[in-house]
């Protein structure tokens, strides 16, 4: 799980993030590899989730609803 967390953190920072198999698989099956950048709020939610917080804790910390945190 550590490699996956590194990949997510790398993606959130704007890097390629090809560290774990999951991101590599997602990129290989992506129709548009030049997909849009994450918004600052999406990046914040992603980093909080990658740090191991629950969706409820992520939602509270980022000021969004739990449903929004789940689908960000």
Query: Which pLDDT tens digits describe the chain residue by residue (72 residues)?
Result: 466 677 777 767 776 555 455 666 666 666 666 666 788 898 899 889 888 889 899 999 999 998 888 876
Cα gap 49→11, rounded to integer Å = 13
Global pTM value: 0.51
> Residue 60's pLDDT is what?
93
Helix axes 55-62, 40-50, angle to 10 degrees: 140
Q: CB-hemisphere CA count at 13 Å for 13?
A: 11
Q: How many CB atoms lie within 10 A of CB 37?
A: 8
CB 58 within 8 A of CB 48: yes
Direct distance between the N- and C-terminal alpha carbons of the chain, in angstroms, rounded to an integer = 20
> Residue 3's pLDDT is what?
67
């Amino acid at each position: 799980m550590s490699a996956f967390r590194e990949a997510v953190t790398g993606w959130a920072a704007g890097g390629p993030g090809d560290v774990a198999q999951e991101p590599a698989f997602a990129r290989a099956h992506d129709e548009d590899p030049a997909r849009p950048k994450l918004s600052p709020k999406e990046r914040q939610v992603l980093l909080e989730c990658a740090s191991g917080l629950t969706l409820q804790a992520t939602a509270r910390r980022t000021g969004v609803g739990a449903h929004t945190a789940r689908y960000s």
